[in-house]
């Protein structure tokens, strides 16, 4: 992934609502956001733990921060809070 990308508003809204998106992707950033949104469709605590322990989500969030031309703190907070909540439940 290279350059800076605009975040697609519909995908960001889905993430903030803790929903996976079905929005079509047009660039690498859309694909990255869709991957992050898949976390909301995982039903097993064990799977969430694997994603967390292997830093898979953290690495994707880092890419998001590096290649977005917008503030992504709310997206990052939504996803990390959701993961923590799912691990504790």
**How does pLDDT run across 13-66, given as a tens digit for each residue?**
999 999 999 888 888 899 999 999 999 999 999 999 999 999 999 999 999 999
2 found inside a domain: no
Q: Would you state the structure tokens that stand for residue 85, as one six-digit string?
A: 């909540």
3 found inside a domain: no
Pick from 65, 68, 80: nearest CA to 18? 80
pTM equals 0.87
Q: How many domains does the chain have?
A: 1
40 found inside a domain: yes
36 found inside a domain: yes
57 found inside a domain: yes
32 with 76: CB under 8 angstroms? no
Longest CA span, the chain: 38
1 found inside a domain: no
55 found inside a domain: yes
| Separation of CA 87 from chain center | 17
């Amino acid at each position: 992934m290279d350059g800076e990308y605009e975040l697609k508003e519909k995908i960001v809204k889905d993430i903030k609502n803790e929903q996976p998106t079905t929005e079509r992707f047009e660039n690498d950033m859309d694909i990255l956001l869709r991957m992050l949104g898949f976390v909301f469709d995982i039903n097993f605590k064990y799977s969430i733990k694997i994603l967390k322990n292997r830093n898979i989500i953290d690495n994707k969030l880092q890419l998001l921060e590096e290649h977005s031309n917008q503030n992504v703190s709310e997206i990052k907070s939504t996803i990390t809070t959701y993961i923590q909540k799912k691990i504790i439940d």
